[in-house]
Every structure is written in structure tokens, then in C-alpha cells.
Amino acid sequence: MAKILATEIRVGDLIEWDKRIWRVAKCYHVHVGGRGGAFMQVEMKDIETSTKINQRIRTDEKIERTQVEPRDMIFLYQENNEYVFMDQQTYEQLSLPQDFLEGQSEYLLPNAELQINFHHERPIGVKLPPNVVLTVTETEPSLKGATATSSFKPATVETGLVVMVPSFVTQGEKIKINTGTGDYIERM
């Protein structure tokens, strides 16, 4: 296993903590000016028991990244609460339950390429591309003369995800979204 600095932890990473393997659900850097220094606030989920914890990790601390076998996969379709993927090398299909993808299924469109990580031949995590382009299916009408201002409005995209977008974004437009944070990046 490889050691990484706490500041290198990213959403979707698999790390070893307390002799268990955890999948990082959320992480962000916190700097408390003048008191105690900086740390990473990490929300992670145990891949065995699905237990979630929030952990503060000092930025200079080293963490074990779990050794996994990444496989390039393509998302094919959703059937009920199962998501079906195909291995790009062997063409074998793999079904994963919706709760396995927790929070990541909203970024999936058919034929999307991604990586599924395996540990001892068992799927343990999905690594999405850093950004996805999705079409806005529902949002409030654009305000006349609205430009890139600080006002945002909710927009629903084709997968059902609700994203806060600038007021000039309209229904039918494609937008780029950060899969780690769920934030709007730009209009395409």
C-alpha cells in the first residue's frame, strides 16, 4: 500500500483507517486561522459494514491508500435498483446495487466511461471522471439581461441531480458539473 498526505485525499479514494477499508464520500480542507493549524475533514464509509464516520486528519499526516485493481468500465443501463456495467477488456457485465453507488449514480449516463476498483476480485468503489456534461431539463426562466453574476438558481439535469447554476442558464442547455463537489463549472 502507498502512503499519501492527508491533503491528497479525494472523493472516491479508498483508504485504510483503523485497520479497515473506507471509501471517501466527502473531503475538504479546513484552516482555522491561528488555532490548531489546518486539517482535512473527511467523511468516509466502511466498505464492509456501510458505517459512516467523519474524521479530522492533520494535513501533515500520512494515510495508507488501499491497493486496488482498477478496471475500465462502461455504464450500460439501470434496471430497477441495479446498475449494469461492462468491462472494456473482457466485455463481462457487472451489476451493482444503487446503494453501492451512493451519490454517484446522479452523474451516470449510458455509455459513460469510468473506473471500478476491485479488492481481491470484489468491487469496492467507483471512480467517476472529474467532470461530466449533462443537459438541463428543468429550471426557472432566464432573466432578461442576466450575465455572469453571483445570483444562482436551482436546475434539474437529465439524471435528476439538482445543481445551483447562474441565472443565465436555460432549459435544454448542456452544463459541466464537478463530480466531486456537485458544483456547476461552466455552460457548454
Higher pLDDT, 43 or 146: 43
Instruction: Choose the final residue of a domain: 20, 42, 65.
Output: 65
**Three cell numbers, residue 127:** 471512480
CA–CA dist 135, 176 (Å, integer):
9
Range 6-12 average pLDDT: 85
Are 101 and 80 found together in one domain?
yes
Range 76-91 average pLDDT: 94
Are 171 and 144 found together in one domain?
yes
pLDDT for the residue 148: 53
Are 8 and 30 found together in one domain?
yes
Are 158 and 179 found together in one domain?
yes
Given a cut of 80, is residue 33 above it in pLDDT? no
Confidence of residue 146 (pLDDT cuts 50, 70, 90): low
Confidence of residue 145 (pLDDT cuts 50, 70, 90): low
pLDDT for 117-142, tens place per residue?
888 888 888 888 999 999 999 998 86
Going by C-beta distance under 8 Å and a sequence separation of 6 or more, which residues neighbour residue 10? 24, 27, 180
Q: Show the domain range for 57.
A: 2-65
Confidence of residue 34 (pLDDT cuts 50, 70, 90): low
Judge whether 75 and 108 are in contact, CB under 8 Å. yes
Given a cut of 90, is residue 156 above it in pLDDT? yes
Are 6 and 50 found together in one domain?
yes
Are 97 and 55 found together in one domain?
no
Tell me the CATH number at 165: 2.40.50.140
Confidence of residue 171 (pLDDT cuts 50, 70, 90): very high
Range 44-50 average pLDDT: 84
Instruction: Choose the final residue of a domain: 20, 36, 65.
Output: 65
Tell me the CATH number at 14: 2.30.30.30
pLDDT for the residue 177: 95
Instruction: Choose the final residue of a domain: 47, 65, 83.
Output: 65
The percentage of the chain sitting over the pLDDT mark of 90, rounded to a whole number, equals: 43
Are 160 and 172 found together in one domain?
yes
The side-by-side arrangement of strands in the sheet containing 93-97 is 93-97, 82-87, 69-79, 113-119, 122-127
Are 118 and 160 found together in one domain?
no
Mean pLDDT, all residues of the chain: 87
Range 107-124 average pLDDT: 89
Phi, psi of 8 (to 5 degrees): -95, 0
Higher pLDDT, 143 or 188: 188
Assessment of whether the complete model's pTM goes beyond 0.75:
no
Domains of the chain: total: 3
CA–CA dist 155, 178 (Å, integer):
15
